[in-house]
C-alpha cells in the first residue's frame, strides 16, 4: 500500500482539564478556610483598663487622660483625628520619645490609646504596661468600631482634620 499513511494509535491518556466546577469548589474551600480562620484567630487581649469612645472623649476634654491616636497618617487623613487626641504613629521609631515628651517622662499618667478597631491599641497597651507605664487605658471600639461598640465616628463624636 503505497502512499497510505498509518496513524499511530494513541496509548497515552488525554490530559484532563480542570472543570469549572472543581475550580469553583477549590475557591470556595479556600475562602471558607480563610473566613473560619479569621473568625477563630485570637485577638490581642489587654487585661487593663478600658474606656468607651464617649468616655475617652470626655476624659480627654477634661484632661483626665492623655488620648493618643496610634494609627497611621493615611488613616488620620482618611477619617480625621478624634478631637482631643494626639496623633502619634505607633510604627514611628520615635514613638516612645514622642510619648515621653507629651507626658513629661511621667509613666504614671493615664494614657488612653485608640486605633481603628481596637486591635493595635490592645497590643500597644500591653507593651506599654510591660515597659513600665502604669496607667495605660485601651479604647477597644476604636475609630471605626469593633465588637466592643460602634466606634468614634459612628457614635458621632467630633473629629479634627489631619493636616499632614
> In the block, which residue shows the cell 466606634?
151
Domain at 49-160, CATH from 3.40.250.10, 1.10.3720.10, 3.30.360.10, 3.40.50.10490: 3.40.250.10
Take residue 43 and report the three cell numbers written for it. 485577638
Residue 140, CA distances (Å) to 4, 16, 22, 38, 107 in order: 83, 52, 42, 18, 21
For the chain, the structural domain boundaries read 49-160
Percent of the chain with pLDDT over 70: 73
Q: With a threshold of 0.75, does the pTM exceed it?
A: no
Q: What is the pLDDT of residues 73-113, one digit of tens each?
A: 999 999 999 999 999 999 999 999 999 999 999 999 999 99
Residue 57, CA distances (Å) to 71, 128, 159 in order: 17, 21, 10
What sign has the CA pseudo-torsion 118, 162, 55, 48?
A: positive
The distance from CA 163 to its chain's CA centroid, rounded to whole angstroms, is 22
Q: What is the pLDDT of residues 43-76, one digit of tens each?
A: 556 667 899 999 999 999 999 999 999 999 999 9
Amino acid at each position: 500500500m503505497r502512499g497510505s499513511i498509518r496513524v499511530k494509535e494513541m496509548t497515552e491518556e488525554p490530559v484532563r482539564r480542570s472543570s469549572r466546577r472543581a475550580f469553583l469548589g477549590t475557591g470556595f474551600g479556600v475562602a471558607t478556610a480563610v473566613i473560619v480562620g479569621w473568625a477563630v484567630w485570637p485577638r490581642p487581649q489587654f487585661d487593663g483598663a478600658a474606656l468607651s469612645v464617649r468616655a475617652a472623649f470626655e476624659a480627654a476634654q477634661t484632661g483626665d487622660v492623655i488620648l493618643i491616636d496610634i494609627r497611621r497618617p493615611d488613616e488620620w487623613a482618611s477619617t480625621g483625628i478624634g478631637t482631643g487626641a494626639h496623633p502619634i504613629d505607633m510604627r514611628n521609631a520615635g514613638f516612645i520619645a514622642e510619648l515621653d515628651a507629651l507626658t513629661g517622662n511621667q509613666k504614671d499618667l493615664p494614657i488612653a490609646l485608640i486605633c481603628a478597631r481596637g486591635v493595635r491599641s490592645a497590643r500597644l497597651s500591653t507593651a506599654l504596661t510591660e515597659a513600665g507605664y502604669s496607667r495605660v487605658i485601651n479604647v477597644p471600639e476604636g475609630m471605626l468600631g469593633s465588637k466592643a461598640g460602634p466606634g468614634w465616628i459612628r457614635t458621632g463624636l467630633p473629629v479634627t482634620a489631619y493636616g499632614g
